[in-house]
Amino acid sequence: MGKNKLQKFADMASYPHVFEYPYSVADNVAFEKRGKWNQEFFKNNHPIVLELGCGRGEYTVGLGRMFPDKNFIAVDIKGARMWSGATDSLEAGMKNVAFLRTNIEIIDRFFAPGEISEIWLTFPDPQMKKATKRLTSTYFIQRYRKFLQSDGIIHLKTDSNFMFSYTKYMVEENNLPVEFITEDLYNSGLVDDILSIKTYYEQQWLDRGLAIKYIKFLLPQEGELREPDVEIELDSYRSYNRSKRSGSQRSK
């Protein structure tokens, strides 16, 4: 029998590579590692990569194993879910992986300008009802600019036609440089070791015959950001663990 949520939260509180700063804490306690992640935690000068909405943390752990010369921080508010990756990386003795449990709406509080080199968005909830909740909306892109290096990289992997289309229109509206884009990743010829890391739910979507979409684009510091004014067809299905496809719950 797996551990219950209370035990998982207790484990997380004791893990040296887990930092927990949800709204209730972040509003009252300063985050002292902002601008000092490499100096005080990773103890090196390697590039730092974020995974936002990490779920179980499988992607971050997989990337950490592939790239010992990079540092990875997985971010999500779901602590019990994040426990899996945090435990796996701790037991493996990985020194280039950390976990931050917080609300992504305040992500810019935890990193200094230019501190992050890349961002991965792996299967975020498309949030079809409200643009400002989408992790590729200009609401969030503006926050990413506060800590992402100029022309830093943003990756999106998604099963959602809606999320992929919205992101494509947002990128086009703001003339953001696109390095690669495909509506069917695993039949694109691009699949390499990085992109072939599959989360638990991604494999289930693939088993259902759903194509995985991927876009890799750069984020310059200059230029005013504009939301795309377009109508996008809603997804016709519900993903795992989402009671409503456009609701606030996300899954990995």
pLDDT in tens, 65-109: 999 999 999 999 999 999 999 999 999 999 999 999 999 999 999
**Phi-psi region at 209: left, alpha or beta (left = phi > 0; alpha = psi -120 to 50):** left
Cβ neighbours of residue 247 closer than 8 Å, sequence gap 6 or more: 125
Q: How far apart are the first and last CA of the chain?
A: 21
Q: Which band of pLDDT confidence, cut at 50, 70 and 90, is reported for residue 239?
A: low
Q: What is the pLDDT of residue 15?
A: 98
Better pLDDT: 246 or 178: 178
**pTM of the predicted structure, to 2 decimals:** 0.91
The percent of residues in the chain predicted with pLDDT above 70, rounded, is 93
Flag whether pLDDT at 247 surpasses 80. Answer: no
Strands in 18-20's sheet, in edge-to-edge order, are 18-20, 97-101, 71-76, 48-52, 116-122, 148-158, 213-219, 178-182
The Cα-based distances of 194 to 63, 67, 70, 110, 190 in angstroms read 7, 10, 13, 26, 10
Whether residue 125 has pLDDT greater than 90: yes
Contact between 20 and 79 under an 8 Å Cβ cutoff? The reply is yes
247 against 41, higher pLDDT: 41
Token reading at 150: 């100029």
Strands 48-52 and 71-76: parallel
Whether the per-residue pLDDT at 30 is higher than 90: the answer is: no
pLDDT of residue 249: 35
Which phi and psi angles does 178 have, rounded to 5°?
Answer: -100, 125
Q: Is 57 left (phi over 0), alpha (psi -120 to 50) or beta?
A: left
Would you say residue 2 has pLDDT above 70? Answer: no
Catalytic residue positions? 125
Q: What is the pLDDT of residue 236?
A: 87
pLDDT score, position 201: 76
Helix (H, G, I), strand (E, B) or coil at 239: coil
The per-residue pLDDT for range 180-237, each reduced to its tens digit, is 999 999 988 886 778 878 887 788 888 888 899 999 999 999 999 999 999 999 998 7
